[in-house]
Structure 1
C-alpha cells in the first residue's frame, strides 16, 4: 500500500511574529501507525524540501510516544527535511492521501491549486482522502464532480472554534475550520475539546484534533484494503 502525506510549507503564524507549521503528533501518530503496518509513505509539500514544524508541538505538554519516537528517528527527520514538491507528485502512484494538521495549512493548503486538484483527483479515483485537526482547511475550495463543495452534505469534523479560542488564535487565523466546514454545507460534528473524534463519510475521513490523529490513520488503512 502506498500513501501520500501532504504537509504544509507555511511557517508564519499570521502577523504575530511567531512560527507555525505542521503539528508533530498529527504527523508522527499516523506515520508510525501506517509504517508499522508495512505501508509505503511518501511526503510532499507545496514548496518541497523542509516541512516546517510548529514549535508549540515540540513542547513536553504535546509529547507522546510517537513524537518521542520521531525525535529518535533520524530517517523520519530526514524525510521531513527533504519532502517532494507537490506539483511533481502523481496521484496514480498512491492508494490514499493523508493531510496532517497544524496551523500552517490554513494559509497555504487551503488555497493551493495543486493540492485542491490532487484531492479532487484522489476522490474521483475512488481513493480515500483523510485530514486531521486544521488539515480539513485544505478542503475549503475542493469541489465534487458536480461543482458543489466536496464536503457538502457529508459528515465532517475538524478543529473546533472553542479549541481555537483555547489556544488564543481565534483572531489570528485567516478562518476557522469549524465555520468553513459548516459554510460549505458539511454536517459538522464534534466531541468535547481535545477528545478523540473521527468521522468517516465514504472516502472522506476527518479527525477533530491531535488526539484523533491515529484513529484517522486506522480508518484510512481500513478504507484502502
Structure 2
C-alpha cells in the first residue's frame, strides 16, 4: 500500500521583534507529531516560507530536553538532515498530500498568518475536504485561509495558545497580537482547557487544533485517525 503523505508547514521567523529574544518553532510541537506520523507509516515533507532549517525557539530545547521525541530527534541524522533541507512553500503542490500539520512556537504569528503560499496550500485542503492539524501558535496559519475563503473560521471550534498562557509566559507585550483574541475576532467558537498549559484538542469536521505543547501529539494522533476514517469511507 502506498505511503500516506503529510506536509508540515514550519515557520522561518526567528526574532521576537523589538527585543533581543529569539523564537521559531517549538521543538516538541514538531518532534512529537513528526514521529507520530512517521511511526504511522506516513511520508513526511517539511516546508517553510524561506526553506532550509527553521529556527528553533531556544526555550523549547531547555524545557523539553527530557521528552522522548526530542531525544530521538537529537540522535536521528535523517530527521535532522530533512529539517535542515526543508522546501520553500512556494514550491509545494498541495495536491500531493493527504494531510497537513502546522506546529507552533511564536514564529507563525509573524510569517504564517498572512502568507500567500500558506493561503494557497491550506485553501486547497479545505476545498478538497482534507484534514488540517495545527497546534499552539500554529493555528495562526488558519488566518491565511480567510484570504481565499472569507468567513471560513466563523463558528468553527478552534483552540490555540490562550491569552492567559501568553500572559503567563510574559510574551503579551512582544507578540504582534494575541492569537486567541485574533481568532475570536474572526468569530471562532474558542475552546480551552480548564487550567493553563493543560492539554486541549478541538475537532471541527476536518480541522483539528491543539492548545499548547502538551496537546501536540494528541492532535497528530487525531489527525491520523481522521485521515484513516476518510480513506476507509472513500473505498
Q: CA shift at 1:166, angstroms?
A: 0.9
Contact 1:141 1:149 in 2 (8 A): no
What residue is the counterpart of 2:232 in the other structure? none
Deviations 1:71-118 (A, max 9, x none): 111111111111001010101100010000000000000111110121
Q: Tell me the secondary structure at the aligned position of residue 158 of structure 1.
A: coil
Mark the CA change 1:144 to 1:187 in structure 2 (over 3 Å): closer, same or farther.
Answer: farther
Q: Tell me the secondary structure at the aligned position of residue 101 of structure 1.
A: coil
Residue 197 of structure 2, aligned match among 194, 197, 200: 194
Q: Distance in 2 between matches of 1:61 and 1:40?
A: 25
Contact 2:118 2:144 in 1 (8 A): no
Q: Distance in 1 between matches of 2:82 and 2:161?
A: 26
Segments of 5+ residues of structure 2 without an aligned counterpart are 229-235
Contact 2:10 2:47 in 1 (8 A): yes
Contact 1:96 1:127 in 2 (8 A): yes
What residue is the counterpart of 1:30 in the other structure? 33
Q: Does 1:176 align with 2:211?
A: no
What residue is the counterpart of 2:157 in the other structure? 155
Q: Does 1:217 align with 2:217?
A: no
Q: Distance in 2 between matches of 1:149 and 1:70?
A: 38
Contact 1:144 1:150 in 2 (8 A): no
Residue 72 of structure 2, aligned match among 69, 72, 79: 69
Q: Distance in 1 between matches of 2:202 and 2:183?
A: 13
Q: Does 1:57 align with 2:60?
A: yes
Deviations 1:142-200 (A, max 9, x none): 1397x433211110000001111111000100011110111101000100111110011
Residue 164 of structure 1, aligned match among 137, 153, 166: 166
Contact 2:24 2:106 in 1 (8 A): yes
Deviations 1:108-139 (A, max 9, x none): 00111110121111110110111000011111
Q: CA shift at 1:63, angstroms?
A: 3.5
Q: Distance in 1 between matches of 2:81 and 2:8?
A: 15
Q: Does 1:43 align with 2:77?
A: no
Q: Distance in 2 between matches of 1:216 and 1:150?
A: 20
Q: CA RMSD in A?
A: 1.3
Segments of 5+ residues of structure 1 without an aligned counterpart are none
Aligned residues: 224
Q: Does 1:83 align with 2:94?
A: no
Q: CA shift at 1:29, angstroms?
A: 0.4
Contact 1:160 1:208 in 2 (8 A): yes
Q: Distance in 2 between matches of 1:171 and 1:51?
A: 24
